[in-house]
A and B are shown apart, each in its own frame.
Chain A
Amino acid sequence: MTALLEVCNLGRRFGGLVALSGVSFEIEAGSTVGIMGANGAGKTTLFSLIAGNLRPSSGDIRFAGSSIVGLRADQICGLGVARTFQIVMPFPALTVLENVRTGAMFGKAKLRHAAQADIVARQVLADVGLAEVADRPASTLTLSGQKRLEIARAVATGAQLVLLDEVMAGLTPVEVTQMLQTLRRLQASRGLTLLVIEHVMRALMDLCSRIIVLHHGELIAQGSPQQIGENDKVLSVYFGAHS
């Protein structure tokens, strides 16, 4: 089975600051892969590079076999890559349904008619548990609701690969449990491939078959949650020197 996403020797500088360097990994279709690392490790930069919000300084990103480096964000979304934003970016004056409609009308789905798009959008909203608030302005949602809305919009684009940037940050433990169920349900029903940045370790360990660890812009470890939990490098980065 060929990888859905291949990241080869990826690097990004901001002036003199190296945000990411020499990062390589592959993501199999249908898998859920976690990305961990401290603040400033380059996790969000990695997402911005994959989604086309930023251009890499070096290296290549291949999606479904072809390079997507140099494409605009909307073109990459059109190929089937969607992302959420850690700092939520709803369309505040539009309703929740209209927010999700944008994903369904554009993205990969490209449904021309609002009515068609709304069928898809309502389905996704039901899946993430926002069906009841579909006609409320997005600005009235709670943080948990806005995180769900981010996911709903991304999924409604019809993407195969969804990049989730800290969708559980700031949620209560009960909400985290609900979110994990939601993600599993979405993945199972739509065959999604998920790449997940998360600080909630329980969630990451629970959800992912594989975890990639970034530290100061470099990939220092990857493997199953158990392997990562026993990896000396990771432990020394997270907990200091380890005898």
Chain B
Amino acid sequence: MSEPLPDRGWLLVLAVGTALMAALPFVANDYLVGTGLTLLMWVALAQSWCVLSRLTGYVSLGHVVFYGLGAYLVVVTWQLVPLPLAILGAGLLAALFALAVGLPVLRVKGPYFVILTFGLAELVKYSIMAIESASGIASRILFGTPDLVRVYFAMFALAAAAILLLSWVSRSRFGHGLRSLRENELAAETLGVPVVRYKLLAFVLSAAIPGMVGAVMALRSTYFVVGQVFDPMISITVIAMAILGGGDNAKGPLLGVIFLTALSELLWAQAPLLYMIILGLVLVVFVLLVPDGLLGMFERRHSPTAARIGPSQ
């Protein structure tokens, strides 16, 4: 589906949301700012993930690898390289890694791609663990990280960039080519879509921002544990948000992120065990009953014919 021009309601919601998020650090306490930071992080990750996985149908279960690589780069270059440069470098590293592994990885489809991306992320995680322990570093602590508000605005910029990226790709010729190859790769190629190049470009684009997100989040936690920045739960949460949101444009994942972040904030503090159970239930319900997500529900309500979004499989 190529976007009809952005409707006013959506732009209004986006503008209000942006203003609220921009004002948050000036009016809220640290706890709320921290929650806002988490929300922005998920926005940036989910929007980036959708560039690859929603538009091409290649579901990546290893997007945390880009996040982890970005975080790792900032940690090893700490106080050696100016921070803004290190953050940009993290995006570049993630993009280069995607470029390097993209050609072989994108040759496999469906469940094999899902498993392969998962395995690749674990491989990188354990490799870096081995490197760290071989070099005798037990833990790394970052001294003199920027304050929360700066970290918050860095993430704000990344979230905005990710929304812009997905919105642009979604309505571009490139995006139309990606949707075509999602539906049928052979037919798309025969109609002139350079499928190999497009898939690779989507993979690289969807990797860059998560790399920078990882870099910024490394500043937030101040100490570095490999297992934490390569935690597979990050990949899984991103997918859960995209499934809950639905759709292959910027709106769906945004809805999913807000919904899931709100749910976790409500339940996490009260009943952490219940949270995982309810999260599982919500996912099952959505996959079975609302395959086109929150966005599909909204759009169906407005026009019964508009609800055909997301991969057809």
Contact = CB atoms under 8 A, between A and B. Distances in A.
A73 B190 contact: yes
Contacts of A85: 186-187, 190
Contacts of A107: 191-192
A43 B190 CA distance: 17
Contact of A90 (B184, B193, B194, B308): B184
Given A82-B190, A153-B191, A89 B184 contact: yes
B188 interface: yes
Contacts of A72: 189, 194, 196
Nearest to B3: A114
Given A74-B195, A139-B312, A106 B187 contact: no
Given A94-B180, A102-B176, A102-B177, A89 B186 contact: yes
Contacts of A102: 176-177, 180, 188, 191, 193
B2 A106 contact: no
A92 interface: yes
B179 to A, nearest CB: 6
Contact of A112 (B173, B187, B195): B173
B192 A74 contact: yes
A74 B189 contact: yes
B299 interface: no
Contact of A114 (B176, B189, B194, B310): B176
Interface string B302-313: 000100111110
Interface string A122-155: 0000000000000101010000000000000110
B88 interface: no
Given A77-B190, A102-B177, A112-B173, A91 B183 contact: yes
Given A72-B194, A101-B2, A105-B176, A92 B189 contact: no
Nearest to A108: B192
Contacts of B309: 93
A109 B149 CA distance: 50
Contacts of A98: 1-2, 176, 179
Q: Chain B, interface size: which category?
A: 20 to 34
A56 interface: no
Contact of B191 (A137, A139, A157): A157
Contacts of B179: 91, 94, 98
The CB with the most chain A CB atoms within 10 A, among B187, B194, B308, is that of B187
Interface string B273-313: 00000000000000000000000000000000100111110
A106 B174 CA distance: 10
A74 B312 contact: no
A103 interface: yes
Interface string A72-100: 11100110001101000111111100100
A83 B186 CA distance: 11
Most chain A CB inside 10 Å of its own CB: which residue of B189, B309, B310: B189
B28 to A, nearest CB: 41
B199 to A, nearest CB: 12
B308 A93 contact: yes
A9 interface: no
A148 B191 CA distance: 15
A114 B171 CA distance: 9
Contact of A91 (B187, B196, B305): B187
Given A93-B310, A94-B183, 16 more contacts: A51-B190, A53-B189, A74-B193, A77-B189, A85-B186, A91-B188, A93-B183, A102-B176, A102-B177, A102-B180, A106-B177, A106-B193, A107-B192, A114-B2, A135-B305, A154-B191
27 contacts: A53-B189, A72-B189, A73-B189, A74-B189, A77-B190, A77-B191, A82-B191, A83-B190, A85-B187, A85-B190, A90-B183, A90-B184, A90-B187, A92-B312, A93-B309, A93-B312, A94-B180, A95-B308, A98-B179, A105-B176, A106-B177, A106-B191, A106-B192, A106-B193, A114-B173, A114-B176, A153-B187
The 6 A-B pairs of least Cβ separation, nearest first, read A91-B183, A106-B192, A93-B312, A107-B192, A77-B192, A89-B187
